[in-house]
């Protein structure tokens, strides 16, 4: 019960890794809110939580928009009285070959995967700094690691690499009372990866030394660790949860 007495807000928490993280924090006694762009994802996540006997608070917002982020974080604090944990998990890709990429693809992808991390962290840090306590966990990707950028989603890879760097800067600026860390998931079975062709998934499985894709729970366990008191002396770090996929470069 590591999250008893703690309140956590998870972005992109309507499905996938974010929704699984929310359920696992609820199961460990946390008070949890999720923010998501998609109302259907939110309704499903709330229903799943209810069916397991938990109350999940939902907020519908686009986390790349300053006013919507402020409204959400302030609404969350009004509801729960404080914000102890922020998980910046919302993300998306626009897969398209290099020669078809547009500046709009870049702007949208950077806004959702990178700038949202700054916006949500700034809005949450206002409350965390006042209480001199808080944990922020940013979600990057195996694609943000050196040598692992992926064809067709180069702007996503660039955004996720920037999240690792941004985490280190935020860790310095928000110290000593707020810990900021990154979890970089490897290939994970969610609705984001479900549409990929079987041959691509096969490559992801064979490329990982542990010979499988991650389940959302594999990633959520790392997020929970960095969001918990178990990680009180860890800040500015990146925890790569990729089944050894990145080892193949060596
Ligand atoms: P997912 O698509 O299943 O869930 C992402 C959620 O974010 C969705 O519910 C979506 O509606 C929401 N979202 C998207 N844009 C938003 C916005 N602007 N505002 C608010 N909500 C928004 O994805 P997932 O696989 O669970 O991935 C979660 C995170 O993990 C993402 O940051 C992703 O880049 C990262 N990641 C995933 C994988 C993987 O293999 N699945 C690998 C590495 C990193």
Mean of pLDDT over the chain: 97
Q: What gap in Å lies between CA 194 and CA 248, rounded to an integer?
A: 23
- Coil, strand or helix at 238: strand
Q: What is the mean pLDDT of residues 173-197?
A: 96
pLDDT band at 249 (very low <50, low <70, confident <90, very high): low
- pLDDT, residue 147, reads 81
- 8-57, pLDDT tens digit by residue? 999 999 999 999 999 999 999 999 999 999 999 999 999 999 999 999 99
Structure tokens at 131: 């209480």
Question: Region 227-236: what's the mean pLDDT?
Answer: 98
List the one residue out of 213, 94, 113 whose CA is nearest residue 158: 113
Residue 20 CA, closest ligand 1 atom number:
26
In degrees and rounded to multiples of 5, residue 13 shows phi and psi of -90, 10
Residue 98 alpha carbon to ligand 1 centre in Å: 22
Q: What is the spatial distance between Cα 57 and Cα 37, in angstroms, rounded to a whole number? A: 14
Indicate the helix (H) or strand (E) that contains 137. strand 134-139
Give the residue extent of every domain in the chain: 7-244
**Position 191 pLDDT exceeds 90:** yes
Give ligand 1 pocket residues (Cβ under 6 A): 11-12, 14-18, 36-38, 41, 62-64, 89-92, 112, 139, 141-142, 185, 187-188, 190-193
Q: What is the pLDDT at residue 150? A: 85
Reading across the β-sheet that carries 7-11, which strands appear in turn?
A: 57-60, 31-36, 7-11, 85-88, 134-139, 178-185, 238-241
Name the residue of 11, 19, 58, 90 to mutate for ligand 1: max ligand atoms within 8 A of Cβ.
Answer: 90
Residues 6+ apart with CB under 8 A from 30: 3, 4, 6, 7, 8, 85
Inform me whether the pLDDT recorded for 163 exceeds 80.
Answer: yes
Are 163 and 172 contacting, i.e. CB atoms less than 8 angstroms apart? no
Q: What are phi and psi of 65, to 5 degrees?
A: -110, 120
Please state, for a pLDDT cut of 70, what percent of the chain lies above it: 99
121 close to 89: Cβ distance less than 8 angstroms: no
Matching residue, tokens 């790569």: 240
The pLDDT-based confidence of 250 (bands split at 50, 70, 90) is: low
> Which CATH architecture fits 7-244?
3-Layer(aba) Sandwich (3.40)
Q: What percent of the chain has pLDDT over 90?
A: 96
Cα distance between residue 129 and residue 168, in whole Å: 17
| 156 is annotated as an active-site residue | yes
The pLDDT tens digits for 81-115 are 999 999 999 999 999 999 999 999 999 999 999 99
Query: Which is the closest atom of ligand 1 to the Cα of 14?
Result: 9
**According to the model, what pLDDT value does residue 148 have?**
84
pLDDT digits (tens, 9 = 90+) for 122-157: 999 999 999 999 999 999 999 999 888 888 999 999
Q: 195: which residues sit within 8 A by CB, 6+ positions away?
A: none
């Amino acid at each position: 019960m590591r999250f008893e007495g703690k309140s956590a807000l998870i972005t992109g928490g309507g499905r996938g890794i974010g929704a699984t993280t929310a359920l696992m924090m609820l199961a460990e006694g946390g008070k949890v809110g999720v923010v998501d762009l998609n109302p259907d994802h939110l309704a499903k996540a709330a229903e799943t939580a209810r069916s397991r006997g938990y109350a999940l608070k939902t907020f519908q917002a686009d986390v790349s928009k300053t006013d919507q982020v402020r409204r959400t974080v302030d609404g969350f604090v009004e509801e729960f009285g404080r914000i102890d944990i922020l998980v910046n998990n919302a993300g998306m890709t626009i897969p398209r070959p290099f020669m078809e990429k547009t500046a709009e693809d870049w702007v949208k992808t950077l806004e959702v995967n990178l700038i949202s991390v700054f916006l949500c962290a700034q809005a949450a840090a206002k409350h965390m700094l006042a209480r001199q306590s808080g944990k922020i966990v940013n979600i990057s990707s195996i694609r943000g690691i050196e040598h692992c950028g992926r064809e067709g989603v180069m702007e996503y890879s660039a955004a996720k690499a920037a999240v690792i760097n941004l985490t280190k800067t935020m860790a310095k600026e928000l110290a000593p009372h707020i810990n900021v860390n990154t979890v970089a998931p490897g290939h994970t079975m969610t609705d984001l990866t479900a549409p990929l062709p079987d041959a691509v998934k096969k490559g992801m499985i064979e490329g990982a030394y542990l010979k499988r894709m991650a389940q959302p729970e594999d990633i959520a366990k790392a997020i929970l660790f960095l969001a918990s008191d178990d990680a009180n002396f860890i800040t500015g770090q990146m925890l790569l949860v990729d089944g050894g996929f990145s080892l193949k470069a060596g």
